[in-house]
Amino acid sequence: MKRYSAFAIAREAARHHTGWERAWASPAPKDRYEVIVVGAGGHGLATAYYLAKNHGIRNVAVLEKGWMGGGNTGRNTTIIRSNYLQDESAAIFEKSRSLYETLSQKLNYNIMFSPRGVLMLAQTEHELRAWKRTAHANRLAGIKSEFVSPRRIKDIVKIIETKGPRYPVLGGLWQPRGGTARHDAVAWGYARAASDLGVDIIQQCEVTGVDRDASGVTGVQTTKGAIKCAKLCIVVAGSSGVLAEMAGFRLPVESVALQALVSEPIKPVMDCVVMANTVHGYMSQSDKGELVIGGGADGYNNYTQRGSFQHIEETVRALIETFPLISRLKMLRQWGGIVDMTGDRSPIIGKTPVPGMFVNCGWGTGGFKAIPGSGWATAEMVADGAPRALAAPFSLDRFVEGRMIDESVAAAVAH
Between β-strands 118-122 and 171-175, what pairing exists: parallel, antiparallel or unpaired?
Answer: antiparallel
**pLDDT, tens digit, 9 for 90 and up, residues 37-73:** 999 999 999 999 999 999 999 999 999 999 999 999 9
- Cα 347 from chain centre: 11
**pLDDT, tens digit, 9 for 90 and up, residues 294-309:** 887 777 888 888 777 7
Cα–Cα dist 186/370, whole Å: 12
User: Mean per-residue pLDDT for 126-153?
Assistant: 95
Q: What per-residue confidence (pLDDT) applies to 301? A: 86
Cα distances from 43 to residues 68, 304, 405, in angstroms, run 11, 21, 20
**Percentage of the chain modeled with pLDDT above 90:** 81
Cα–Cα dist 169/151, whole Å: 10
Between β-strands 225-234 and 216-222, what pairing exists: parallel, antiparallel or unpaired?
Answer: antiparallel
Hey, what domains does the chain have and what are their CATH numbers? 26-78+183-252+344-410 (3.50.50.60), 115-179+255-341 (3.30.9.10)
Half-sphere exposure of 61 (CA within 13 A, CB side): 28
Q: What per-residue confidence (pLDDT) applies to 412? A: 45
Q: Which of the two residues, 413 and 228, has the higher pLDDT score?
A: 228
In the structure, what pLDDT confidence band is assigned to residue 279 with cuts at 50, 70 and 90?
confident
- Axis-axis angle for helices 371-384, 42-55 (nearest 10): 50
Whether the predicted model's global pTM rises above the 0.85 cut? yes
Report the chain's mean pLDDT, rounded to a whole number.
93
Q: What per-residue confidence (pLDDT) applies to 211? A: 97
Which stretch of DSSP H or E encloses residue 107? helix 103-107
> Is the distance from CB of 362 to CB of 391 less than 8 angstroms?
no
Q: What per-residue confidence (pLDDT) applies to 411? A: 46
The C-alpha angle 237, 274, 116, rounded to 5 degrees, equals 90
Half-sphere exposure of 50 (CA within 13 A, CB side): 22
In the structure, what pLDDT confidence band is assigned to residue 332 with cuts at 50, 70 and 90?
very high
Sign of CA dihedral 58, 59, 63, 68: positive
User: Mean per-residue pLDDT for 3-12?
Assistant: 92
Q: What per-residue confidence (pLDDT) applies to 303? A: 85
**pLDDT, tens digit, 9 for 90 and up, residues 163-206:** 988 889 999 999 999 999 999 999 999 999 999 999 999 999 99
Q: Exposed, middle or buried, 345 (CB in 10 Å: 0-12/13-18/19+)?
A: buried
